[in-house]
């Protein structure tokens, strides 16, 4: 059984959430609408028509949620700030009531000895900016710089760990290329352009954070997948390389100074992004760490079907979670080792890792054995990454509590704490109790 003592002493241990998924209070205290408010209010876009209300009503219950974090023995908490709570139309005058919420949240964390890890962007773009083109418009990059300045100027005395973006692939691909997520645009060129603007906004905001925050530690979080070929022909290997290009190298290569991968650019042809002179150097700004959200691997082989880009995603025999995601803990080790050796990442944090299961509450208890096991296996994989020399320095469980799972609404649960969305009662699941004990340092067997 994995134990905390299997990790270095200064390893960072936490759990993560995001603003739109938990806060609720979408119209309270002057918060402006975000693209997810608009998207969720559009019939057919989310399961059951679910919206950001009630979320976990965290905006009103943050104090007891902070107590819960303490009870779980968390030492760090990764959360995101809602841009439109602080700048309701994305730019201009600060909404002091919205900013006040984040000040109280940060102060509450520090009072309890929990280190805040702040993510500036977890997909909830102010709708006012989307009306001007959203991430397809270069000006949104400059709006993000202004937002970064406001947040780092106001919270930088207390928050030292900053993440610019969460999962740019989701922002660009799911949001603008295929439209499964807000704002629901389905256009290849727009998706690719959005990815470039998100990366550029990261590059331009890092120096702003450094300017405003003494001793800042700054990074970006990517969702990465090992991509394995499900067959042994050279065409299958090419299929794996192609998906690795679009999902991993498209983001990693420019961040680490290599520009966009040529094989992916060749496939994109006329859909390649418009890049202004100097953009690539800005994107390659030095960071202190890379955040990795790890859930599963991609298993692919060549297909003759050109409509699907000659790629077929294959289901292996391995077990899957209730979102039909393959359970492949070795992939976490593989990614961390790759980032250390291929990209010379200085430090890596697993900023999300978790599993979706349909929990049942029996006699007030949620015995989520499968999620507990998933967590244990991924802690083992993290320890193995450290053993193999990867610069892995921390782990955040996704998620602190059940929440709004985007297009799946409230139907899919990832929390280590159960939330009854009717009553807002929180119940620590067996997985949460396991993590609590692990963090306490109890020897588990
Ligand atoms: O809930 C999401 C989170 O917002 C981003 N990473 C993946 C999680 C599970 O789908």
241-290 pLDDT, tens digit per residue, is: 999 999 999 999 999 999 999 999 999 999 999 999 999 999 999 999 99
How far apart, in whole angstroms, are the C-alpha atoms of residue 129 and residue 182?
13
Q: Summarize pLDDT for 169-222 with one digit per residue, the tens.
A: 999 999 999 999 999 999 999 999 999 999 999 999 999 999 999 999 999 999
Buried b (16+ CB within 10 A) or exposed e, 149-159: ebbbebbbeeb
State the pLDDT at residue 374: 98
Q: Is 171 in the pocket of ligand 1 (CB under 6 A)?
A: no
Q: Is 167 a catalytic residue?
A: yes
445 located within any domain: no
Half-sphere exposure of 69 (CA within 13 A, CB side): 32
What sections of 131-275 are H helices per DSSP?
139-155, 168-169, 188-212, 234-244, 250-255, 262-268
If you measure from the C-alpha of residue 270 to the centroid of ligand 1, how many angstroms do you get, rounded to a whole number? 31
Residue 43, beta-bridge partner list: none
111 found inside a domain: yes
**Does ligand 1 have an atom closer than 6 angstroms to the CB of 18?**
yes
**431 falls within a domain:** yes
pLDDT tens column, 316-362: 999 999 999 999 999 999 999 999 999 999 999 999 999 999 999 99
Whether residue 120 lies inside any domain: the answer is yes
Q: Which is the catalytic residue, given 23, 334, 352, 376?
A: 352
The whole domain housing 120 covers: 4-440
Position 154 in a domain: yes
Share of the chain above pLDDT 70, in %: 100
Asked if residue 398 has its Cβ within 6 Å of ligand 1, the reply is yes
Condensed to tens digits (0 to 9), the pLDDT of residues 117-161 reads 999 999 999 999 999 999 999 999 999 999 999 999 999 999 999
Cα 217 to ligand 1 centroid, rounded to whole Å: 23
167 lines ligand 1 (CB under 6 A): yes
Look over the chain and give the mean of its residue pLDDT values, rounded to a whole number.
Answer: 98
Residue written as token pair 């841009």: 83
Pocket test for ligand 1, best of 293, 351, 413, 416 (most atoms within 8 A of CB): 293
Q: Buried b vs exposed e over 68-90: b needs ≥16 C-beta within 10 Å?
A: bbbebbbbbbbbbbbbbbbbbbb
The finding on whether 352 has its CB within 6 A of some atom of ligand 1 is yes
Instruction: Characterize 303-319 residue by residue with b for buried, 16 or more Cβ atoms within 10 angstroms of its Cβ, and e for exposed.
Output: beeeeeeebbebeeeee
376 is catalytic: no
Query: Whose Cα sits closest to atom 1 in ligand 1?
Result: 405
**What percent of the chain has a predicted confidence (pLDDT) above 90?**
98
Distance CA 142, CA 137 (A): 10
Number of structural domains in the chain: 1
47 within some domain: yes
Q: Is the pLDDT of residue 443 over 80?
A: no
Residue nearest atom 9 in ligand 1 by C-alpha distance: 405
Q: Is 169 in the pocket of ligand 1 (CB under 6 A)?
A: no
pLDDT at 130: 99
Ligand 1, closest atom to CA 406? 1
Q: Find the CATH number of the domain harbouring 393.
A: 3.20.20.80
**What single string gives the DSSP state of each residue in 281-306?**
HHHT---SEEEEE----EEEEE-S-G
Candidates 2, 42, 47, 5; CA nearest to 444 is: 2
């Amino acid at each position: 059984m994995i134990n905390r003592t299997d990790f270095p002493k200064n390893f960072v241990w936490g759990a993560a959430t995001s603003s739109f998924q938990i806060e609720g209070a979408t119209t309270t205290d002057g918060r402006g609408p975000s693209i997810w408010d608009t998207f969720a209010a559009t019939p057919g876009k989310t399961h059951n028509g679910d919206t950001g209300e009630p979320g976990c009503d965290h905006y009103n219950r943050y104090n007891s949620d902070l107590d819960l974090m303490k009870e779980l023995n968390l030492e760090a908490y990764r959360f995101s700030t809602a841009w439109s709570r602080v700048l309701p139309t994305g730019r201009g005058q600060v909404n002091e009531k919205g900013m006040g919420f984040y000040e109280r949240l940060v102060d509450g964390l520090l009072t309890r000895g929990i280190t805040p890890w702040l993510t500036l962007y977890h997909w909830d773009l102010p709708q006012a900016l989307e009306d001007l083109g959203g991430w397809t418009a270069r000006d949104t990059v400059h709006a993000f710089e202004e937002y970064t300045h406001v947040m780092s100027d106001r919270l930088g005395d207390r928050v030292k760990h900053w993440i610019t973006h969460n999962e740019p692939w989701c922002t660009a691909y799911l949001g603008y290329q295929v439209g499964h997520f807000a704002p629901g645009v389905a256009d290849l060129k727009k998706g690719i352009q959005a990815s470039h603007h998100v990366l550029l906004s990261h590059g331009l905001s890092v120096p702003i954070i450094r300017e405003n925050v003494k001793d800042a530690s700054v990074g970006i979080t990517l969702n990465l997948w090992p991509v394995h070929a499900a067959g042994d022909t050279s065409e299958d290997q090419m299929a794996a390389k192609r998906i690795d290009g679009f999902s991993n190298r498209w983001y990693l290569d420019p961040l680490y100074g290599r520009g966009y991968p040529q094989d992916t650019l060749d496939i994109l042809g006329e859909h390649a992004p418009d890049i202004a002179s100097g953009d690539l150097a800005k994107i390659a700004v030095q960071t202190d760490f890379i955040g990795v959200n790890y859930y599963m691997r991609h298993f692919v082989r060549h297909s003759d079907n050109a409509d699907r880009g000659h790629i077929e995603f294959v289901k292996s025999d391995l077990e899957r979670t209730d979102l039909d995601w393959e359970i492949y803990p070795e992939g976490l080790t593989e990614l961390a080792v790759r980032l250390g050796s291929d990209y010379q990442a200085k430090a890596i944090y697993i900023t999300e890792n978790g599993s979706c299961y349909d929990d049942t509450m029996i006699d007030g208890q949620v015995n989520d054995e499968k999620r507990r096991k998933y967590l244990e296996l991924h802690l083992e994989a993290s320890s193995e990454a450290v053993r193999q020399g990867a610069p892995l320095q921390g782990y955040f469980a996704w998620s602190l509590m059940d929440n709004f799972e985007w297009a799946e609404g409230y139907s899919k649960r990832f929390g280590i704490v159960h939330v009854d969305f009717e009553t807002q009662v929180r119940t620590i699941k067996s997985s949460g109790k396991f993590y609590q004990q692990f963090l306490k340092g109890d020897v588990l067997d």
